[in-house]
Amino acid sequence: MTSARNIIATLSPLLACLGLLAVWQVVALWLDTESFPTAWHALQTVPQILGDPEQLLNILDSIRRMVIGFSLAVLISIPLGLAMGRSARVSAFFNPLLMMIYPVPKAALMPIIMLWLGVGDASKTLVIFLGVSLPVIYHSFQGAKAVEEKMLWSGAAMGLNGLQRMLRIVLPAALPEILTGCRTGLVLALITMVTSEMIARQSGAGNILFNAMDMAQYDTVFAMIIIIGALGIVLDAAFDKLRWRLVKWAEPHQEILLGAS
């Protein structure tokens, strides 16, 4: 019975995907314009793009930058967020600055950063880094703040020093929240990557999209949308699986995905 429920749980997103593609197909057939290809056409174009070495390299380059930017952001943001959550002074110091940065569109920094660091990997990675940092800091902060004081007292009574308490008590206790932040950050990394490439128009997946549009290769445009969309959904689902494994013990709680950078 539970397995049946599991099957439904895994199948229903797939059904939703099929449903969306079907709606697309019907609308495209009904509109019947060259600029809006059918879902079937777009899907057929996907292997062509992935089979073209140049395009594939472009996309893989994007993903590489995304992974580096994401990893760097996570490595720096988690300690910072935890420190803010456990020390009122640290949080009083950083909070206003972070609040100021919060509404700044990170991908919009691309032209300015390109002025400084050139058009290479460094600027693209930096923008992704900036995009990912905030949600990870925020969630680590919330997670660390919510750790029960008495748990820390027990730790101190067992002879753990400050750093050990941080690593052995605060970090695991805040882990569910941290991983929620990382999941949001991962989706944001992809969004920032695509957006900054759309703005910079130098290389990468976002660039392929708009180049194809300029050249009226609408099949390619929609195929790229499918590829990027699938990437987002797969990354998110994979991370959710990982998270579920790491924090099986945690009570399920609500998650709100922040959706843009």
Partner 1 sequence: MSTQRLATVLMGALPILFVLAIWQALCSFGFAPPSLLPPPGKVFLRLAQQLGSLGFLDDILATMIRLFAGFLIAVVLGVGIGLAAAVVPAINAVVRPLVQVLAPLPKVALYPALIILFGFDHASKITLVTLDALFPILLSTYYGASMVEQKLVWSALAAGTPRWQILFKVIAPAALPSILTGCRIGLVISCIVVFLAEMISSTDGLGHLLVGAARTFQTVDMFVPLITISLLGLMLNGLLYGLRKYLLRGFPEV
Is 138 one of the binding residues for partner 1 (CB under 8 A)? no
> Nearest Cα to 209, choosing from 42, 66, 67, 69?
42
In this complex, which beta carbon is closest to partner 1, that of residue 152 or of residue 199? 199
Q: Is 108 in the site for partner 1 (CB under 8 A)?
A: yes
Smaller CB distance to partner 1: residue 173 or 190?
190
Pairs from 59-65 (Cβ < 8 Å, separation ≥ 24): 59/204, 59/205, 59/208, 59/227, 61/203, 61/204, 62/193, 62/194, 62/197, 62/203, 62/204, 62/205, 62/206, 63/231, 65/121, 65/124, 65/125, 65/128, 65/193, 65/204
With respect to partner 1, which residue has the nearer C-beta, 171 or 199? 199
Q: Which of 59, 182, 187, 223 binds partner 1 (CB under 8 A)?
A: 187
Of 23 and 158, the one with the shorter C-beta distance to partner 1 is: 23
8-state DSSP, 109: G
**Given 59, 74, 78, 109, the residue binding partner 1 (CB under 8 A):** 109
CA distances from 56 to 8, 49, 61, 66, 232 (A): 34, 7, 8, 15, 17
- Both tokens of 15, joined, read 């059904």
- CB closer to partner 1, 136 vs 199: 199
Instruction: Restricting to residues 61-100, name those near partner 1 by CB under 8 A.
Output: 89, 92-97, 99-100
In the complex, the residues that contact partner 1 under the rule CB under 8 A are: 12-13, 15-17, 19-20, 35-36, 89, 92-97, 99-100, 102-109, 111-112, 115-116, 187, 190-191, 194-195, 198-199, 206, 209-210, 213, 218, 221-222, 224-225, 228-229, 231-233, 235-237, 254-261
